[in-house]
Chains A and B, each alone.
Chain A
Amino acid sequence: MPPVIDKKLCNTCGICYSICPQDVFFFDKAQKQVPAVAYPQECWYCGACVVDCPKGAVSLTLPLPLHIVPSPALYGPPGPEEGKALELAADFSRSVERDRPEPGERKAGKGSGGEKASGQDTDGANATTSAHEGENES
């Protein structure tokens, strides 16, 4: 049950106990022991303990009712009828330069309406990898 502290990584600093908005941890500073998850069912899954742990020792596990059952996405540029509208919607969602793809990355978006098949080509795999790097960067 959430959160779970890796005892090997924990340095018993007590930050998770200090910041948890739901107060799910028990920690005795004097004892210098790994915090206990005293109220696992009161976790909000906000990720504060994951983000703030200086040792990366905390991870969240989901109780069964909160699992998201995987469902395949429709990866690829949308069809011609939607392409332009989606492109415009994307433009309205940002105000940044958009013509700076990473090396080896397909230039999706531009004129995507007429290039439905191109999203499924090999460049797609590169783009997926890049997206993950983006996650790690942030």
Chain B
Amino acid sequence: MSKVEIQEHSCDICVVGGGLAGCMAAVRAAQLSDDVILVDKSNPERSGCAGTGLDHIWGYFPEVQSREGVSLEQMVEDHIQNVAQGLVNKAVLHYIAATSYDRILDLERFGAKIRFDDSTLPGRLRLQYQMHACRNTLHFEGRDIKRILTGAVRKSGTRILDRVMAADLLTHDGEIAGVVGYGTRDGKIHRIRAKAVIMSTGRANRLYKPHPGLTFAIRMPPALTGDGKAAMFRAGVELINMEFLSIPGRWSSRNLIRGGGLPTGSYQPPGVGVNALGEVIRRRNHDVGGKSVYGTAKTFATGKSFQGELEAGRGPIYADMSWGSGEDQRYMLWAIENEGLGPGFLHIMKEYGLEFRKHKIELWPIEPEHSAAAAGGPIVDETCQTTLPGLYAAGDEAGGIPGSVAPGAFTMGYLAAESAAKRAAGTGAVADGKGEEELVAFCNEILNRSGGNPWEDAQATIHNHMSDYNIRFRSQTMARRGLECLDYLENTMRLAAANPHELTHCLEMRNLIECGKIILRSTIERKESRGKIFQRKDFPEQDDANWFCFLGQKLESGQVRFRKHGP
């Protein structure tokens, strides 16, 4: 009988997930503590949502916004009302808005280029309108932002533990004591004891059948499988907003591009959305200014929508990026080159003879996403602490801050690091926590199984169940059936793995099933519909009297408990 080897580590602060949030957290934590470990499932150089770039970050730029007569408070209120529909952690949102620019200046110090001589604004910043009614989103050279950040992490003295997938939390006397993970290449279990832990593993991205039909052809990183959220739930941490879901996730072309160039996420001058007749349906991505009463924004709405055009028989929809001057085209290509997936997309266009001047790019509504608009994850206080003392969450990991996106990652990472450092400084010895037993048993069972179900079969089954029971016909009865099916899968599957790479995928199945069940349970519990992110067939109306709240879900002595929290 083979047994998985366990390797021990110890530190003051452990950051789990080396994306934008985790890297910023590690840098700040290492300024305040001598003993920091950053764990990443792959390599922080190119991991996470911004692995191959990030071309825009929103924030409050005082020298620009105040000149335009927009105060920080107005911008925050705009976000609360128009981005988050009122349901948001206001303290953390305010912190994000107030400190995003400080973190951007950090990025500049680390080596990112954020100033441009052709800018018409103070500070030589290239700012443009994104989701707020003021010019508050920086366009910058972020293609290598993860390499730059990883360099800063290395310089900070943080130890990087790469190719380790977080699986469960270690706890001691009801407080955090570390994290336990699986080495995706070395096949060892890594037991990392810590005085404080920051989770920043992001979203669960592989729950629904991808639009292009291939498991890994999704818009956001397929390596992100809700590992942190699943681990926290198993450890009794309270999660909120897990029922919220963007349907469709976005519009994309075979999920090969994320936005940052197409009208599905375009802030580029020549990018417009057209129907099959060549009529302009979207003049730019965001119809800014439609709802707001402040700022200098205009509305660019046409009164038509992509979905409406499909329904009216004028599909398909295309991104037509052929217009504008050569200068416009160059600006657009520059931005795409710097946005995540953009370098890959431009490379593919070249390889396959596609040119924006000559070809429009077909767009389709893609599979649902538990998106930035949904903001599902652990409820956090104003210090980013979760309900488990000593455990913090940052970026897409944290629940309750819709639309926080990149600035949310940078600022919450920074804030969580400060909170974690305080906690670590006030904690004596590193505790010897428990929590690895389930992981050890799971790994040993698979290692000792000859023949069994490949992880791909479990993945396809999860795709089937989540797509059948949690997209078009969401209701109590459908969600109950979905739960039955996921339970059946969990109890019936006998996963097998030939190597650590495959065993990693098996562990991902464990987490996706966990996340799916949390989502379906909260779907049953929230008895209303709410905006675009929560539609139930059996409760089609919004019910603010009972449900204008975060719905919390947690495990208490093996029982699932729900709790409502005011925003």
Chain A residues close to B by CB (< 8 Å):
18-23, 38-39, 41-48, 50-52, 59-63, 65-78, 82, 85-86, 88-90, 92-98, 100-102, 105-109, 119, 124, 126-128, 130-135, 137-138
A68 touches B213 (CB 8 A): no
A96, B119: Cβ atoms under 8 Å? yes
Across chains A and B, which 7 residue pairs bring their CB atoms closest together, nearest first?
Answer: A47-B344, A134-B330, A73-B322, A90-B269, A108-B325, A130-B326, A131-B329
The answer to whether A60 touches B348, judged by C-beta atoms less than 8 angstroms apart, is yes
Contacting residues, chain B, for A85 (C-beta < 8 A): 283, 300
Check if A63 sits within 8 Å of B330, measured CB to CB. no
The CA of A32 and the CA of B329, in the complex, are separated in Å by: 42
Number of B residues, CB within 8 Å of A:
93
Known: A74-B320, A78-B323, A131-B326. A92 touches B129 (CB 8 A): yes
CB–CB B52/A51 < 8 A:
yes
List the interface of chain B (C-beta within 8 A of A).
42-43, 45-48, 51-52, 116, 118-121, 125-129, 135, 139, 143-144, 163, 184-185, 212-218, 221-223, 253-254, 256, 266-270, 272, 274, 278, 280, 283-284, 288, 297-298, 300, 318, 320-331, 333-334, 337-338, 340-348, 350-362, 501
Chain B positions within 8 Å of A102 at CB level = 326-327
Is the CB–CB distance between A65 and B327 below 8 Å? no
Contact of B357 among A44, A69, A75, A88 (CB under 8 A): A75
Chain B residue nearest to A133 (CB atoms) is B330
Distance between Cα atoms of A53 and B235 in the complex (Å) = 41
Residues on B with C-beta less than 8 A from A76 are 322-323
Task: Report yes or no: A45 in contact with B326, Cβ–Cβ below 8 A.
Answer: no
Q: Is the CB of A89 within 8 A of B283?
A: yes
Does A73 contact B321, Cβ atoms closer than 8 Å? yes
Contact A21 B51, beta carbon cutoff 8 Å: yes
Q: Whole-angstrom distance between the alpha carbons of A109 and B325 in the complex?
A: 6
How long is the Cα–Cα vector from A73 to B118 in the complex, in angstroms?
Answer: 29
Residues of A within 8 A of B284 (CB): 89-90, 92-93
Partner of B326, one of A22, A43, A127, A138: A127
Interface centre among A48, A94, A137 (most CB of B within 10 A): A94
User: What residues on A are CB-neighbors of B185 within 8 Å?
Assistant: 23
Give the chain A neighbours of B126 by CB distance below 8 A.
Answer: 94-96
Q: How far is the CA of A134 from the CA of B42 in the complex (A)?
A: 32
- B116 to chain A: closest residue by CB: A96
Among A98, A126, A138, max chain B CB count under 10 A is at: A138
With a cutoff of 8 Å between Cβ atoms, the chain B residues found around residue A22 in the complex are 42, 216, 222-223
Whether the pair A74, B360 counts as a contact (CB closer than 8 A) is yes
Known contacts A19-B45, A22-B222, A77-B323; A127/B341 CB under 8 A: no
Tell me the complex Cα distance, A89–B272, Å.
9
Q: With A and B bound together, what is the CA distance between A50 and B349 in angstroms? A: 13
| Inter-chain contacts of A73 with B (CB < 8 A) | 320-322, 356-360
CB pair B47 A21 closer than 8 Å: yes
Once bound together, how far apart are the Cα atoms of A134 and B331, in whole Å?
8
Q: Smallest Cβ distance from A82 to chain B, in angstroms?
A: 5
Contacts A/B (CB < 8 Å), 24 sampled: A18-B45, A19-B43, A22-B42, A22-B216, A45-B217, A50-B344, A60-B344, A72-B360, A77-B323, A78-B272, A82-B280, A82-B283, A89-B269, A93-B269, A94-B128, A95-B121, A96-B118, A97-B119, A106-B326, A109-B324, A109-B325, A127-B329, A128-B358, A130-B330
